[in-house]
Chains A and B, each alone.
Chain A
Amino acid sequence: MHGSETMKRQPLYGLLAEFHSAEELLEAARHTYETGYRRLDAFSPFPIEGLSDAIGFHRTRLPVLVLLGGLFGCCGGFFLQWWPNVIGYPMNIGGKPYDSWPAFIPITFEMTILCAVLTTTFGMLALNGLPSPYHPTFNVPRFALATKDRFFLLIMAEDPKFDSEQTRQFLTELNPREVSEVEN
């Protein structure tokens, strides 16, 4: 009995507060972070400037990854042409140099862009943890409006400051439209 209980996941994932406008959500998110909650997330139907900063997420590693992807494409693209022409199957055409690098620039450029674009797209998805067909927030019926015209603030149960009663009280004071429990 006890063993199976420890196997169970915590029933409560967090508390979700619903707001009418982007400004209300932004204000609420800032206030929540200032109060000391750290495991937060906010959901909106379009990107809101400053919202990720408000919940304590300031920088993404994506640009560095894209730079590395681009450099890989650049070097790889050049090597792809240099190796066959100089080492793999050199052919003397009109006494021209094997390593005729200016002719290799267009493909080097295209490969740089290609690898950078692939890194951007798949890097963004991977860092975001997508695809994720299931997420606990989907259990809240009204959460479907997060992709239309409503704004949500989530405090996760794993937050050290989280207490289902106190946190609910705290969220209610932010004057949301509704506070709902998110089940795991």
Chain B
Amino acid sequence: MPPKYPENVATLVSPGSEVLGPGHTYGSVTDKISSIVLTQRTGKKYKAGLALAIVLLLVLNYAITVLMAVGVGIFGINVPVGWGYAIVNFVWWIGIGHAGTLISAFLLLMRQKWRTSINRFAEAMTLFAVACAGMFPLLHMGRPWVAYWLFPYPDTMGLWPQFRSPLVWDVFAVSTYATTSLLFWYVGLIPDLATLRDRATKKFKQIFYGVFALGWRGSAQHWKRYEMASLLLAGLATPLVVSVHTVVSFDFAVAIVPGWHSTIFPPYFVAGAIYSGFAMVVALAIPLRKYYGLEDFLTLRHLDNMGKIMLATGLIVAYSYMMETFMAFYSGNPYDRFMIMNRMTGPYAPVYWVLVAVNLVIPQLLWSSRIRRNPLWLWLLSFSVQTGMWLERFMIVVTSLHRDFIPSSWGMYYPTRWDWMIFLGSIGLFFTLFYLFIRFLPMISIFEMRELVHKTAEESTP
């Protein structure tokens, strides 16, 4: 189906510095965004994409079923590498989620207008990424059906979780993060669900959106409390998002394994999380704006800004790699020194050098504003960063463990096909949820776009 608005209008009219294309009214932004959900037919490409995602999801279901029946022995993990793909994927996914919270919370506090059109689907991305992440530690436990033992409850055995362990901190951090992301996302959706309720023409849709809109009617008193709630949620989510990846990094840093036991881990992990998260936002935003003709809402300015954030956080990550190497030698600790040399020249050296190439060297292209404003280039770069960040977690988990203190306990880790199936399957889970989201919920916050139209009009009239 040809898009209602010619795709080249925004690029012709706006030189790329606006956060909203010209000529929009409250009605036009409402119609444009709600029509994707309410009236547009599902395209062939959408159906093909969803089908592929569901196939991967079925692969995940199959692999999990086998895992439950057989046990974690089907993974490649063994002594000395007891943390394989499950933990790599856990850290990778939860890192991806962080950009969504950062966009919706931190940029709201900073009053950055350009966040308006990306926050909704970035928050959805967060939610789905956390769902993927949360799955891995449970699957990795061996007996997922007793996962509730991780929570403190007065059980008949009189036992409590070990509250001094970062793994228990992780349970609290990740479950708080999942709850907060869900509530923040839902609160943001309420006025838009009311819009969809009032715009829907079919009875079923009116009831469906009506139930979730909770009877929202845009009263001034409601808006007052709503805005206060948004601000408070943003203020609470910002330190939370930093704490979550800090706690994830404690899983490593509190252990005494060389390559893990390092105070640089919390900032290093948080920066890496934002880096990979923005790469994922870019990877999702560029196809969305193209297929749904949203160039007026997701302008080149957005891509440019996201490119800059990727560059900045990428440089923090690069600095952390350098500091890790420097400290290994400066500390004079032979185990640390060996760990770094083993990373660079040992059996997993290809992982390290590919990581340096795709995570540090190639993203330097982002210094060029022409690259940042070129959707295709930026899109390809985002995959480079995604791969890099995944390899980084592989490097941290596997190369640190496989050769530790005593050579007699050295060993190699090779992922099995089950590791791969669950990894690829989690990508299927993510995209299935995301495809359903863009079909059933407005992927751009409609009421915030109306507010943006209002503010833009106020600014242009002297």
Q: Report if A and B associate in a common complex.
A: yes
Across the interface, which residues of B come within 8 angstroms of A121, CB to CB?
183, 186-187, 229, 233
Bound Cα distance A177, B232 (Å):
37
The answer, among A52, A80, A120, A146, for a CB contact under 8 Å with B224, is A52
Q: Given A51-B220, A84-B160, A149-B30: A120 and B233 within 8 A (CB)?
A: yes
- Residue A100 at the B interface, CB < 8 A? yes
The answer, among B168, B180, B223, for a CB contact under 8 Å with A52, is B223
Least CB separation from A111: chain B residue: B172
- Residue A74 at the B interface, CB < 8 A? no
Nearest Cβ distance between residue B92 and chain A, in whole angstroms?
Answer: 21
Across the interface, which residues of A come within 8 angstroms of B172, CB to CB?
106-107, 110-111, 114
- Residue A6 at the B interface, CB < 8 A? no
- Residue B32 at the A interface, CB < 8 A? no
Q: Is the CB of B220 within 8 A of A55?
A: yes
The answer, among A42, A66, A104, for a CB contact under 8 Å with B232, is A66
Q: Is the CB of A52 within 8 A of B25?
A: no
Nearest Cβ distance between residue A85 and chain B, in whole angstroms?
Answer: 6
Stretch at the interface among A7-15, A128-136, A163-171: A128-136
Quick one: which of A88, A133, A147 has the most chain B CB within 10 A?
A147
Bound Cα distance A1, B195 (Å):
42
Across the interface, which residues of B come within 8 angstroms of A118, CB to CB?
179, 183
Q: Is the CB of B225 within 8 A of A62?
A: yes
- Residue B218 at the A interface, CB < 8 A? yes
Q: Given A43-B218, A133-B210: A103 and B223 within 8 A (CB)?
A: no
Q: Is the CB of A147 within 8 A of B223?
A: no
Bound Cα distance A82, B254 (Å):
21
Near A by CB (< 8 A), chain B positions 227-281 give 227-229, 232-233, 236-237, 239-240, 243, 247, 250
Across the interface, which residues of A come within 8 angstroms of B184, CB to CB?
117
Q: Given A124-B187, A128-B222, A135-B215: A46 and B451 within 8 A (CB)?
A: yes
Q: Is the CB of A147 within 8 A of B215?
A: no
Q: Is the CB of A51 within 8 A of B180?
A: no
- Residue B164 at the A interface, CB < 8 A? yes
Bound Cα distance A33, B399 (Å):
70
Q: Is the CB of B226 within 8 A of A128?
A: yes
Across the interface, which residues of A come within 8 angstroms of B239, CB to CB?
109, 113
- Residue B333 at the A interface, CB < 8 A? no
Bound Cα distance A66, B382 (Å):
38
- Residue A75 at the B interface, CB < 8 A? no
- Residue A32 at the B interface, CB < 8 A? no
Bound Cα distance A84, B47 (Å):
53
Across the interface, which residues of A come within 8 angstroms of B376, CB to CB?
none
Bound Cα distance A145, B183 (Å):
26
Across the interface, which residues of B come within 8 angstroms of A41, CB to CB?
219-221
Q: Is the CB of B216 within 8 A of A130?
A: yes
- Residue B163 at the A interface, CB < 8 A? yes
- Residue B159 at the A interface, CB < 8 A? yes
- Residue A47 at the B interface, CB < 8 A? yes
Bound Cα distance A62, B25 (Å):
33
Bound Cα distance A2, B216 (Å):
36
Q: Given A125-B214, A132-B215, A137-B217: A46 and B232 within 8 A (CB)?
A: no
- A interface: dominant SS: helix
Q: Is the CB of A128 within 8 A of B225?
A: yes
Across the interface, which residues of A come within 8 angstroms of B227, CB to CB?
47
Least CB separation from A22: chain B residue: B454
In the complex, given contacts A88-B158, A127-B225, what are 20 additional A-B residue pairs having Cβ atoms less than 8 angstroms apart? A29-B220, A42-B219, A43-B219, A43-B220, A45-B26, A51-B223, A55-B220, A63-B228, A80-B152, A106-B166, A106-B173, A117-B184, A117-B237, A124-B228, A128-B219, A132-B215, A144-B198, A146-B198, A147-B194, A148-B198
Bound Cα distance A117, B73 (Å):
40
Least CB separation from A117: chain B residue: B180
Near A by CB (< 8 A), chain B positions 198-221 give 198-199, 210-211, 214-221
Q: Is the CB of A100 within 8 A of B164?
A: yes
Q: Is the CB of B215 within 8 A of A114?
A: no
Q: Is the CB of B152 within 8 A of A149?
A: no
Least CB separation from A51: chain B residue: B220
Q: Given A117-B183, A120-B229, A148-B30: A52 and B152 within 8 A (CB)?
A: no
- Residue B176 at the A interface, CB < 8 A? yes
- Residue B191 at the A interface, CB < 8 A? yes
Nearest Cβ distance between residue A47 and chain B, in whole angstroms?
Answer: 4
Near B by CB (< 8 A), chain A positions 72-127 give 80-81, 84-85, 88-89, 100, 103-104, 106-107, 109-111, 113-114, 116-118, 120-121, 123-125, 127
- Residue B447 at the A interface, CB < 8 A? yes
- Residue B27 at the A interface, CB < 8 A? yes
A-B contact pairs, 12 of them (CB 8 A): A45-B26, A45-B447, A45-B450, A57-B224, A84-B160, A107-B169, A109-B243, A110-B247, A114-B180, A116-B236, A133-B210, A147-B194
Across the interface, which residues of A come within 8 angstroms of B219, CB to CB?
41-43, 128
